[in-house]
Structure 1
């Protein structure tokens, strides 16, 4: 029996229109890591945060790729490149989503998670493993309830019944592993949304699966 951790993050908004500052893609990512390597990741990033603080960087926040300075980003990506984990990313180009798929934010969220976990789960989880899926806490209590129900339903459909699994929603600030997932997904989506692969190149070896779900589709609904 192996304990496996899947720290997840989502990127992009759930607004379905062509407006300024609205994302083209919605993406789901999971950082997959085993227990011994998780201890190393937590220790490494914890020590890095202390070191940065002594150098007067990042004194007022946790690691967050969107908000961090260039110095912090480079330091975090350099540290991540030496750690042992894999990241899987599923991207959905929102304008290609049929109306019934985007009827609600919860529906679209569940759809994205289903196709992500359908590919990931059989490849990282074996019967009799223990799996902890940790999602970053987001939205209101009512939103989290709907999203939790969606992920739990997807877990039932996509994970072998012999895998003992649990789902947790933790604040991103509570665990550097969630922050690592945020950093990895940010690098991927920055490449897709802006064509900037500066940070992607630093962790490219960690990206196992990067899939545009509707790449073959050519019909746009808005």
Structure 2
């Protein structure tokens, strides 16, 4: 059985132009933990909120939840230990060949993320399970999974590791990653640090891939 768990999600879109409702950044985020007891805590919270007739969606989803729901989720998850890693990609600075396809851009981001950030959460003695929120079409999901598997082979030195892809709704720990990715995105995209400040002491890695670049390709 695994003794290290990483749950991964992303924030932002794969649209490479400037326009309304188009994100400036694409952010990859992982949360690392030694056990998954947070999942039970979030299920208990959901039952409590349902009992109190709070407005709930199908699952906890930061961008859609009401603020009082977000407050309750952050209060709950911050009672347990976990670390957060984030890779920031300012999309307009990506060279054209990097954003030639969603899959290429996605794999590039995960390579930076695991090589410099997330892999440091995994020791050579760990049995690590990396669970990633699936996105896109079925064909894209297969390509994204292949990309993560390939990146893991290149960067992770664990005793043994496995990857899994599933919808965010299925595993509450993926919803933790969603909340963290959302908070980091709000900071970078809008300068809103309200939620980020709640969890900033958990962030062990936050890297702007093209910070030193000044050329924009669109």
TM-score over 0.5 for the alignment? yes
RMSD (CA atoms): 1.4
Runs (4+) of structure 1 moved beyond 6 Å? none
Q: Distance in 1 between matches of 2:56 and 2:93?
A: 41
Q: How many residues align?
A: 218
Within 5 A, what are the aligned runs for 1:41-80?
A: 41-80=38-77
Residue of structure 1 equivalent to 2:89: 92
Residue of structure 2 equivalent to 1:3: 3
User: Where in structure 2 are there 5+ consecutive unaligned residues?
Assistant: none
Report the secondary structure of 2:194's partner residue: coil
TM-superposition CA deviations, 1:153-198 (whole Å, max 9, x none) = 10111012x5311110111111110001100110010010011111
Report the secondary structure of 1:174's partner residue: coil
Cα distance change, pair 32–195 in 1 and its aligned pair in 2 (3 A): same
Residue of structure 1 equivalent to 2:12: 12
Tell me, yes or no, if the aligned pair for 1:49 and 1:58 is still in contact at 8 Å.
no
Within 5 A, what are the aligned runs for 1:62-141?
A: 62-141=59-138
Tell me, yes or no, if the aligned pair for 2:85 and 2:118 is still in contact at 8 Å.
no
| 1:206 aligns to 2:164 (yes or no) | no
User: Where in structure 1 are there 5+ consecutive unaligned residues?
Assistant: none
Cα distance change, pair 167–122 in 1 and its aligned pair in 2 (3 A): closer
Tell me, yes or no, if the aligned pair for 1:81 and 1:206 is still in contact at 8 Å.
no
Tell me, yes or no, if the aligned pair for 2:11 and 2:185 is still in contact at 8 Å.
yes
Q: Distance in 2 between matches of 1:64 and 1:5?
A: 20
Tell me, yes or no, if the aligned pair for 2:186 and 2:193 is still in contact at 8 Å.
yes
Q: Distance in 2 between matches of 1:173 and 1:118?
A: 28
Q: Please say which of residues 179-188 and 74-83 is displaced more in the overlay.
A: 74-83
Tell me, yes or no, if the aligned pair for 2:30 and 2:118 is still in contact at 8 Å.
no
Q: Distance in 1 between matches of 2:169 and 2:58?
A: 8
| 1:186 aligns to 2:166 (yes or no) | no
Q: Distance in 2 between matches of 1:147 and 1:115?
A: 15
